[in-house]
């Protein structure tokens, strides 16, 4: 018996397939290019940001079984940058011996929020109390029977992202606009901080976590303004958050990156909110701030290479660039030259030609040896740059 030698991924015919060609795929390709790893990408849009820098690009529907299956057949390892892909096709590919990371099973457990919450409960991972409902009628019945009390958080089991499919329900009036879908009702728990931990786990089971990041919200608008690394929290709370995130990854036997979103409650409990099995907005700071950025780490994990150092070189803050209200059309990044003159500022422009209100068009990273100084500059960045049409 011989140990199998590592596959030759570098400047070889080995091919990595990526489902989805948005900004996460685009940033993943910086690192496949750095390592000269061959890639195929499929995305519904011919204008997808990842159409460049891959070796082969295909236009196709990610929810279509045949598209995903035949795309997967042509590659050596298959990964994804978006959760909304056809899982049946992934499962069939796995049964036929194809390596799919993260696995179809992980994805099934995550795609459905009811199933995801039940998974946490079964694995004794702390999460807020919840009830799963098959449809809107069942939800209403539970309220009538006083099994469910206002206020609570309503989440659609499938299809939600970027805050869509989530509502805070305070009275019967709030129920009316909800979609009639399978859903969960979660206890509304007051929290001090919204945190996130990115975990990487490779095929061999090596696990590492990035430092805890903190989402700082706008004091009035209920919107994340800054992702801050490291979070300005106690070391003991940070250690607890990293520990819980690791347990989530281990429970899923996850391979690749897993972004674990967490609540820090008023009494410093850590509760898992939800996870994303891919590179994540909360890890974008790592391109400039970390020894190993999240995209390179994802590649290391799914190719079963040793994981890189997740420590930060400097403090990092990320600000999303979203389309300004009242602007739809050809994008113009007003005052981008002014933010480029600020210390430690790097804009990332995703490459969408058309802006519309609140569309995610890019992000800006601000790094500094002094995190408070980075926070000050981040505020200047946010006041200065505007994503408008012209």
Q: Which residues are known binding-site members for ATP? A: 113, 155, 186-189, 194, 273-274
CB-based burial of residue 70 (10 Å sphere; 0-12 exposed, 13-18 middle, 19+ buried)?
Answer: middle
Confirm if 63 and 85 have CB atoms less than 8 A apart: yes
Is 10 or 150 the residue whose CB approaches its own copies more closely? Answer: 10
Verify binding: residue 390, its own copies, rule CB under 8 A.
yes
Q: Helix, strand or coil for residue 62?
A: coil
Q: How far is the CB of 189 from its own copies (least distance, A)?
A: 38
Residue 239 interacts with its own copies (CB under 8 A)? Answer: no
Within residues 269-328, the interface with its own copies by CB under 8 A covers: 291, 296, 300, 305-306, 308-309, 313-314
* Binding residue (CB under 8 A) for its own copies from 256, 344, 378, 381: 344
Q: Which of 16, 41, 48, 54 binds its own copies (CB under 8 A)?
A: 54
> Omega into 299 within 30° of 0, i.e. cis?
no
3-state secondary structure of 124: coil
Shortest Å, Cβ 375 to its own copies = 17
Q: With CB under 8 A, what is the number of residues at the site for its own copies?
A: 47
- Dump the DSSP string for 285-344: THHHHBSS-HHHHHHHHHTTPPPPP--BSSEEEEEEEEPPTT--EEEEEETHHHHHTSTT
Shortest Å distance, C-beta 55 to its own copies: 7
> Which residue bears the tokens 């409990």?
269
Give the torsion sign (CA, 320, 326, 332, 338): negative
Answer for which of 15, 55, 112, 360 binds its own copies (CB under 8 A) is: 55
Instruction: Rule CB under 8 A: say whether 10 interacts with its own copies.
Output: yes
Q: Looking at 44-141, which runs of residues are DSSP E strands?
A: 56-59, 77-80, 99-100, 130-133
**In terms of C-beta density within 10 A (0-12 exposed, 13-18 middle, 19 or more buried), how is residue 198 classed?**
buried
Q: How far is the CB of 81 from its own copies (least distance, A)?
A: 16
The verdict on 367 binding its own copies (CB under 8 A) reads yes
Q: Rule CB under 8 A: is residue 138 a binding residue for its own copies? A: no
Counting contacts by CB under 8 A, is residue 331 touching its own copies?
Answer: yes
Q: Nearest to residue 246, comparing CAs of 194, 300, 295, 198?
A: 198
- Give CA–CA dist 11/37, Å, rounded: 6
Site for its own copies in 103-122 (CB under 8 A): none
Nearer to its own copies, 246 or 312 (CB): 312
Least gap, CB of 345 to its own copies (angstroms): 8
Report the C-alpha gap between 121 and 71 in whole angstroms.
Answer: 35
Q: Which residues are annotated as a binding site?
A: 113, 155, 186-189, 194, 273-274
Instruction: Pick the piece of the chain touching its own copies (CB under 8 A) from 8-16, 73-81, 133-141, 190-198.
Output: 8-16
The residues binding its own copies (CB under 8 A) are 6, 8, 10-12, 26, 29-30, 33-36, 49, 52-55, 291, 296, 300, 305-306, 308-309, 313-314, 330-333, 336-337, 340-341, 343-344, 346-353, 367, 369, 390
């Amino acid at each position: 018996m011989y140990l199998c030698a590592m596959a030759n991924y570098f400047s070889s015919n080995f091919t990595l397939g990526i489902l989805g060609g948005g900004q996460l795929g685009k940033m993943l390709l910086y690192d496949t290019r750095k390592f000269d790893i061959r890639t195929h990408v499929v995305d519904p849009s011919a204008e997808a940001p990842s159409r460049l820098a891959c070796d082969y690009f295909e236009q196709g529907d990610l929810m279509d079984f045949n598209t995903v299956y035949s795309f997967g057949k042509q590659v050596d390892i298959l990964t994804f940058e978006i959760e909304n892909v056809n899982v049946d096709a992934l499962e069939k590919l796995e049964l036929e011996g194809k390596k799919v990371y993260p696995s179809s099973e992980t994805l099934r457990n995550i795609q459905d929020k009811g199933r995801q919450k039940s998974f946490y409960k079964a694995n004794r991972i702390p999460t807020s109390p919840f009830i799963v409902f098959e449809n809107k009628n069942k939800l209403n019945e539970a309220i009538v029977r006083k099994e469910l009390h206002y206020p609570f958080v309503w989440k659609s089991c499938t299809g939600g992202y970027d805050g869509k499919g989530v509502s805070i329900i305070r009275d019967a009036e709030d129920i009316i606009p909800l979609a009639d879908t399978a859903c969960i009702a979660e206890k509304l728990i007051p929290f001090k901080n919204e945190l996130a931990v990115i975990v990487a786990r490779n095929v061999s089971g090596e696990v590492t976590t990035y430092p805890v990041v903190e989402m700082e919200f706008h004091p009035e608008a209920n919107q994340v303004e800054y992702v801050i690394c490291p979070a300005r929290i106690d070391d003991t709370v940070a250690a607890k958050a990293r520990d819980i995130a690791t347990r989530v990854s281990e429970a899923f036997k996850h391979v690749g990156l897993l972004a674990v979103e967490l609540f820090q409650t008023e009494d410093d409990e850590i509760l898992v909110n939800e996870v994303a099995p891919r590179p994540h907005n909360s890890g974008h700071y790592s391109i400039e701030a970390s020894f190993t950025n999240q995209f390179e780490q994802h590649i290391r994990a799914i190719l079963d290479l040793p994981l890189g150092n997740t420590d930060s070189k400097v403090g990092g803050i990320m600000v999303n660039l979203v389309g300004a209200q009242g602007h739809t059309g050809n994008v113009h990044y007003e005052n981008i030259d002014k933010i480029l003159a600020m210390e430690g500022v790097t804009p990332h422009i995703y490459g969408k030609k058309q802006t519309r209100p609140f569309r995610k068009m890019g992000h800006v990273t601000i790094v500094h040896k002094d995190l408070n100084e980075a926070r000050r500059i981040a505020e200047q960045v946010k006041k200065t740059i505007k994503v408008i049409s012209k």
